[in-house]
């Protein structure tokens, strides 16, 4: 059968067109009144109390619905920001002292990625989250000092040593 709206070929039984999203109209069953009632009784048993008809729900993801309607998608913007931050952080990671900027970018990107994914699960948001989390882990690996070092002298020593470590790793 074909979609009434765009003419796209559709398999039997679908409720919405996979191309344009329009609801698919099926012809009414052509039962004589007597046969219809009997057929209905056999299948469903005695008549059930009246129930509200199901609300018309579009089964497509929110992204597709909005794309069909030509609307802006804030979650997509957040996903793009997350991905950009992840890439920026990955570049900064190899710039020695500039990696602190990368860490900040990765944190911002991770928060945006999580928000985007919670609003609308998309591959871009997932990639942004993974990239930012990986960058934070790498930053933690190479230049996070001790959590409990209160003495500034100790911290200064650790910082200088770790900075040298970063510089030895960085090309």
Partner 1 sequence: MHPFVDILGLTIPTYGLCLVCGALLAGLIALALGRRCHAKNEDVIFCGMYAAIGALIGAKAGFILAHAGEIIAAMRQGGLRELFGAFVSGGFLSFGAMIGGLTGFLLYCREFGADRDKLACCLLPTAPLLLACCRIGCFCAGCCYGIPWQGPLAVLNTCSPVGVNGVPLFPVQLLAAAASLLLFVLMLCLPSGRYPAPFGRLLGVFLTLYGAGRFGLEFLRGDHLDRMWLGLTWSQWFCLAAFIAGVLLWRRFRKLRPA
Residue with tokens 């928000």: 115
Site for partner 1 contains 158 (CB under 8 A): yes
Site for partner 1 contains 141 (CB under 8 A): yes
Site for partner 1 contains 124 (CB under 8 A): no
Considering Cα of 58, then 59, then 64, then 68, what sign does the dihedral take?
negative
Site for partner 1 contains 97 (CB under 8 A): yes
Site for partner 1 contains 83 (CB under 8 A): no
**x/- contact string, 40-79, with partner 1 (CB under 8 A)?**
----------------------------------------
For the CA atoms of 9, 11, 15, 16, the dihedral, rounded to the nearest 10 degrees, stands at -30
Are 59 and 38 within 8 A, CB to CB? no
Least spacing, CB of residue 151 vs partner 1, in Å: 5
Distances (CA, A) of 6 to 10, 16, 27, 34, 138: 11, 12, 18, 37, 50
Are 58 and 81 within 8 A, CB to CB? no
Question: Looking at beta carbons only, is 60 or 115 nearer to partner 1?
Answer: 115
Least spacing, CB of residue 139 vs partner 1, in Å: 9
- Cα end-to-end span (Å), the chain: 62
Which residues fall within 8 angstroms of residue 99, CB to CB, at 6 or more apart?
92, 93, 139, 142, 143, 166
Out of 83, 105, 110, 125, which residue is the one contacting partner 1 (CB under 8 A)? 110
Question: Looking at beta carbons only, is 51 or 141 nearer to partner 1?
Answer: 141
Least spacing, CB of residue 121 vs partner 1, in Å: 9
Distance from C-alpha of 109 to C-alpha of 84, rounded to nearest angstrom? 8
Out of 35, 117, 124, 135, which residue is the one contacting partner 1 (CB under 8 A)? 117
* Residues near partner 1 (CB under 8 A): 97, 100, 107, 110-111, 114, 117-118, 129, 133, 136-137, 140-152, 154-163, 165-166, 168-169
């Amino acid at each position: 059968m074909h979609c009434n709206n765009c003419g796209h070929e559709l398999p039997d039984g679908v409720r919405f067109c996979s191309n344009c999203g329009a609801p698919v109209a099926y012809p009414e069953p052509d039962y004589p009144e007597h046969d219809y009632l009997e057929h209905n009784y056999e299948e469903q048993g005695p008549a059930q109390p009246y129930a509200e008809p199901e609300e018309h729900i579009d089964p497509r993801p929110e992204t597709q619905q909005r794309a069909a309607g030509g609307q802006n998608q804030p979650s997509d913007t957040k996903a793009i920001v997350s991905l950009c931050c992840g890439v920026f952080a990955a570049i900064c990671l190899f710039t020695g002292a500039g990696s602190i900027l990368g860490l900040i970018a990765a944190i911002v990107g991770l928060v945006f990625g999580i928000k985007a994914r919670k609003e609308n699960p998309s591959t871009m948001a997932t990639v942004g989250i993974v990239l930012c989390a990986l960058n934070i882990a790498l930053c933690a690996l190479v230049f996070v000092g001790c959590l409990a070092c209160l003495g500034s002298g100790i911290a200064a020593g650790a910082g200088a040593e770790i900075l040298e470590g970063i510089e030895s790793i960085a090309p």
